[in-house]
Structure 1
């Protein structure tokens, strides 16, 4: 099989690897497309120290079921599916049900260096991690499920209610997914702060109010857009300026959820937390139920979901796509690497001008 392997930091190559065979209780998936995650980019550049030369990355994928190992039931060859990358040992499954991402013995496909992950034509995963998808859905939307699951968990951690006013700090791919997760939860008053004009345009297409994050009056503009102070802020960036804005824009007693991990350490104005009794909560990946719920919603093919995909590229152009994203190119949404070029998927039309494509 072909795979996109990290040969050294900053360099990916397409290589030939042996086809994997599923063992008992495992499923082999033939990957159709895999999204490039921000953590993959940081691994490519060496910024996060969580990816290593010789590794095949990838965890935001849609596939078809290609082979079943012994004892696997309830799955059908050829069906479209995705996989939950958080793999929990069976011995810990009961104790960590509903909080699988906290299981000490877990590994994450795409992060674990010894696992050949889904920037490859074939991958083997436990059958319990496979999530079948409707045959009727546009297949490329399956690659959006994993980042949406991250956002579903963040929204649930924040305790947001349908009638709340919500600020999303950051309009990149995670912030965009947070908007969808808030819409899943019935939230209507959503403001997103973002420096990039192209991302603000995309966020507007999703139905949220997009605001330029720059300027000393950003908090006043957030309040004006929401019709009052935010009840909840979800920081999808995780750097000091976005945390500061999140704290300043929320009401007394409000909640700030940190899901973005842009910096390992953050300074904050402690008085904005203590004297006004705000709550800061963390959010990390997702539970198995969060993942299933995200898959069920994407399976309905919501019209706004397709806007999150900016472009697809073939496997042979994988290195170039990574390099472009690492150089902070003006790409507002998700880039998918198309692994199986025989599978018909939506590809943005390159003949359209840039502004139209971004919309």
Structure 2
């Protein structure tokens, strides 16, 4: 099979690798497309220290079932079925203890992050059958690569959203921020603002139905107050000191802020304001199995706004150039997909 291999930090090469074979409890997936995640870009540049030379990365993927292990044959899967997969894998021995919060298992493995597991920037990938999620054949197959980033956003929103919340702010209009707009819609929030510096991303978020704000044009709080007041809940999809400060300032006393962006490993906080104004700052990382399944159901609906999230596709041979351009901030508004097959 062809695989996109991180030859060294800052360089991918397309290499020929042996086709994998599924174990008894596994499924072999013929990959159609795999999305380029922000964490993949940071791995490519070496910023996050979580990707390593020789690794086959990739965890936002969709494809067709190519082979079933003996124990996977009774799970309702069949050859050529369109599927995606949840890359957060926990041991079966942890399933009961961490049901509903699988991401908390200290024994979890994340396909695409763990360097010893060949992942989805390749023509084939092997995954545990229990992590496979079917999708409808009638859906544009590339939509399946959007399930995983939407699951991240669904989990982040559910971490902080209360039933009474009506106004929400998303800081950062990149792929996770865009997914957060859809996740808020999924949870019934109609009034959604997005703060984003890039005009192309603002335009994309506006097409998703959000009210877009340019934080460089003036104080974010003033813009919100002029449009009805502070928000009930904020999703920070950037995660640096400046955006966390904006998130706290933009949220009502007693409101909730979710930090899902990982732009900086350390932050400076106005701790007294966090305490005296009783805002909550909550972290979010990956998702539960239910979050992933719910995200897949939304993507499977084929809602027209889903197409807005995809900016372009590239071939494996063009992927290194795409990663280099994205790492330089080339102005791509949405998701870039690497196409391996139809």
TM-score computed with the length of structure 2 as normaliser: 0.98
Q: Which 10-residue stretch deviates more, 301-310 or 154-163?
A: 154-163
In structure 1, what is the Cα distance between the partners aligned to 2:95 and 2:279?
34
Contact 2:165 2:232 in 1 (8 A): no
In structure 2, what is the Cα distance between the partners aligned to 1:223 and 1:314?
46
Deviations along 1:48-91, one digit per CA (max 9) or x if unpaired, are 00000000000000110110001212101101000000010111
Unpaired segments ≥5 residues, structure 2 = none
Partner in structure 2 of residue 48 of structure 1: 48
In structure 2, what is the Cα distance between the partners aligned to 1:228 and 1:263?
29
Partner in structure 2 of residue 146 of structure 1: 148
| 1:174 maps to 2:176 | yes
In structure 2, what is the Cα distance between the partners aligned to 1:144 and 1:211?
25
Task: Give the CA RMSD over aligned residues.
Answer: 0.9
In structure 2, what is the Cα distance between the partners aligned to 1:280 and 1:223?
21
Q: 1:115 aligns with which of 114, 117, 123?
A: 117
TM-score computed with the length of structure 1 as normaliser: 0.93
| 1:64 maps to 2:67 | no
Find the residue that maps to 1:241 and give its secondary structure.
helix
Find the residue that maps to 1:51 and give its secondary structure.
coil
Partner in structure 2 of residue 16 of structure 1: 16
Partner in structure 2 of residue 258 of structure 1: 259
> What is the Cα deviation at residue 93 of structure 1?
1.1
In structure 2, what is the Cα distance between the partners aligned to 1:245 and 1:25?
47
In the TM superposition, structure 1's runs of 4+ consecutive aligned residues that sit over 3 Å from their partners are: 160-163
In structure 1, what is the Cα distance between the partners aligned to 2:267 and 2:12?
32
In structure 2, what is the Cα distance between the partners aligned to 1:61 and 1:25?
20
- Within a 5 Å distance, the mapping from 1:327-346 to structure 2 comes to 327-340=328-341, 343=342
Find the residue that maps to 2:71 and give its secondary structure.
coil
Contact 1:223 1:230 in 2 (8 A): no
Partner in structure 2 of residue 354 of structure 1: none
Partner in structure 2 of residue 79 of structure 1: 81
> What is the Cα deviation at residue 162 of structure 1?
6.6
Deviations along 1:264-297, one digit per CA (max 9) or x if unpaired, are 1100111221111111111110000000000001
In structure 1, what is the Cα distance between the partners aligned to 2:225 and 2:88?
38
Unpaired segments ≥5 residues, structure 1 = 344-359
In structure 1, what is the Cα distance between the partners aligned to 2:142 and 2:225?
36
Q: Which 10-residue stretch deviates more, 286-295 or 267-276?
A: 267-276
Contact 2:36 2:336 in 1 (8 A): yes
Partner in structure 2 of residue 325 of structure 1: 326
Partner in structure 2 of residue 97 of structure 1: 99
> What is the Cα deviation at residue 161 of structure 1?
3.3
In structure 2, what is the Cα distance between the partners aligned to 1:197 and 1:280?
28
Find the residue that maps to 2:5 and give its secondary structure.
strand
In structure 2, what is the Cα distance between the partners aligned to 1:219 and 1:76?
53
In structure 2, what is the Cα distance between the partners aligned to 1:256 and 1:271?
16
In structure 2, what is the Cα distance between the partners aligned to 1:314 and 1:162?
45
- Within a 5 Å distance, the mapping from 1:275-354 to structure 2 comes to 275-340=276-341, 343=342
- Within a 5 Å distance, the mapping from 1:198-213 to structure 2 comes to 198-213=200-215
Find the residue that maps to 1:7 and give its secondary structure.
strand
Partner in structure 2 of residue 350 of structure 1: none
> What is the Cα deviation at residue 241 of structure 1?
1.0
Q: How many residues align?
A: 340
In structure 1, what is the Cα distance between the partners aligned to 2:27 and 2:90?
16
